[in-house]
């Protein structure tokens, strides 16, 4: 499977990234191990998580996803070299444990490394902007982690064009490592945060783009067609806002293209993101073997120009 470069980091990933937010939440440890095995055995290699996953679940405190991945790696020692581990820092992990200050980045990185059970994080992301900490302080903290061999490359999530541009300028002016990857929200329905100046900046600077909510929280799977369907998943409550004429128009276009390829709507939605110029790969999660098989099939689906145009038009 052809891999794509993540900016100028030297890291390469297959065209789909596995979302680890479900590990320790909607996928228990046994199911998570099976999903991770199937993902890597299919030739895919990048796993995305964060220290805060999945603190929102009852009884969880954060760190559950990283811990599951760490135990999977420990039980599969030969697979560490086959995966690119992506995790994030900055979301609240308890009183005083939040943000991108130098002290907290150093502390949080060591905690993530312990949970993952690895010597180095392949790609470490600033999860959210931190208005209380200057870019230079954060990038200097990352520089120390890189020099110590604890982090290989850095990136950021949820920055707009102005914020990313300023971070890149500070890195250049101060001789500090720059963000090589951006992780924005992006899918057939939600395009506004990436399309335009932000994507243009990433393409111009050679920054890798890994999209999250690539299936619009599951809406683009096609299994949510009305209010009665929202109870099908613990995430159903976040999908109600998509149940509108524009959302149904997008589902209709997905259905039509999926029929042409004997594919599922989710596979077409992911293939559309993969085909977007400037996007390195979408993130998608799975909780069952059937969903994992569908993610793998999405990486082999090639859309025609007319199909891409029809999908583009459906969401306008």
**Residue 51's CATH number:** 3.20.20.100
Residue 44 lies in a domain: yes
Residue 36 lies in a domain: yes
Residue 206 lies in a domain: no
Residues with catalytic function: 53
Residue 314 lies in a domain: no
What pLDDT does 280 receive? Answer: 98
Give the Cα separation of 95 and 126 in Å (integer).
19
Residue 165 lies in a domain: yes
Task: Please give the model's pTM, rounded to 2 decimal places.
Answer: 0.96
Residue 188 lies in a domain: no
Please give the backbone phi and psi of residue 276, each rounded to the nearest 5 degrees, phi first: -70, 120
Give the residue numbers spanning the domain of 29.
4-183
What pLDDT does 238 receive? Answer: 82
| Nearest CA among 241, 230, 225 for reference residue 189 | 241
Q: Per residue of the chain (316 residues), what is the pLDDT tens digit?
A: 899 999 999 999 999 999 999 999 999 999 999 999 999 999 999 999 999 999 999 999 999 999 999 999 999 999 999 999 999 999 999 999 999 999 999 999 999 999 999 999 999 999 999 999 999 999 999 999 999 999 999 999 999 999 999 999 999 999 999 999 999 999 999 999 999 999 999 999 999 999 999 999 999 999 988 777 777 666 666 899 999 999 999 999 999 999 999 999 999 999 999 999 999 999 999 999 999 999 999 999 999 999 999 999 998 8
What pLDDT does 315 receive? Answer: 82
Q: How many domains does the chain have?
A: 1
Residue 231 lies in a domain: no
Count of beta carbons in the 10 Å neighbourhood of residue 289: 12
For residue 7, CA distances in Å to 110, 129, 281 come to 25, 20, 12
What pLDDT does 237 receive? Answer: 64
Residue 138 lies in a domain: yes
């Amino acid at each position: 499977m052809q891999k794509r470069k993540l900016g100028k980091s030297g890291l390469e990933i297959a065209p789909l990234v596995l979302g680890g937010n479900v590990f320790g939440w909607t996928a228990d440890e046994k199911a998570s191990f099976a999903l991770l095995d199937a993902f890597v055995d299919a030739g895919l290699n990048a796993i995305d998580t964060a220290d805060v996953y999945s603190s929102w679940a009852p009884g969880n405190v954060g760190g559950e996803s990283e811990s599951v991945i760490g135990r999977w790696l420990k039980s599969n020692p030969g697979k560490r070299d086959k995966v690119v581990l992506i995790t994030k820092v900055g979301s609240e992990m308890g009183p005083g444990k939040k943000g991108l200050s130098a002290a907290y980045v150093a502390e949080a990185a060591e905690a993530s490394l312990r949970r993952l059970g690895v010597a180095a994080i392949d790609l470490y992301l600033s999860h959210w902007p931190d208005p209380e900490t200057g870019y230079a302080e954060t990038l200097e903290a990352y520089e120390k982690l890189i020099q110590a061999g604890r982090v290989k490359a850095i990136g950021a999530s949820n920055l707009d064009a102005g914020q990313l541009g300023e971070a890149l300028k500070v890195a250049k002016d101060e001789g500090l490592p720059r963000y090589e990857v951006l992780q924005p929200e992006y899918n057939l329905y939600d395009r506004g945060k990436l399309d335009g100046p932000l994507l243009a900046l990433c393409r111009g600077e050679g920054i890798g783009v890994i999209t999250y909510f690539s299936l619009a929280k599951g809406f683009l799977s096609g299994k949510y067609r009305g209010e009665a369907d929202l109870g099908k998943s613990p995430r159903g409550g976040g999908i109600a806002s998509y149940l509108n004429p524009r959302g149904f128009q997008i589902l209709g276009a997905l259905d039509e293209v999926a029929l042409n390829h004997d594919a599922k709507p989710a596979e077409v939605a992911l293939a559309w993101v993969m085909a977007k110029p400037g996007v390195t790969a979408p993130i998608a999660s799975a909780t069952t073997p059937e969903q994992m098989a569908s993610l793998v099939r999405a990486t082999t689906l090639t859309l025609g120009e007319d199909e891409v145009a029809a999908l583009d038009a459906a969401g306008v």
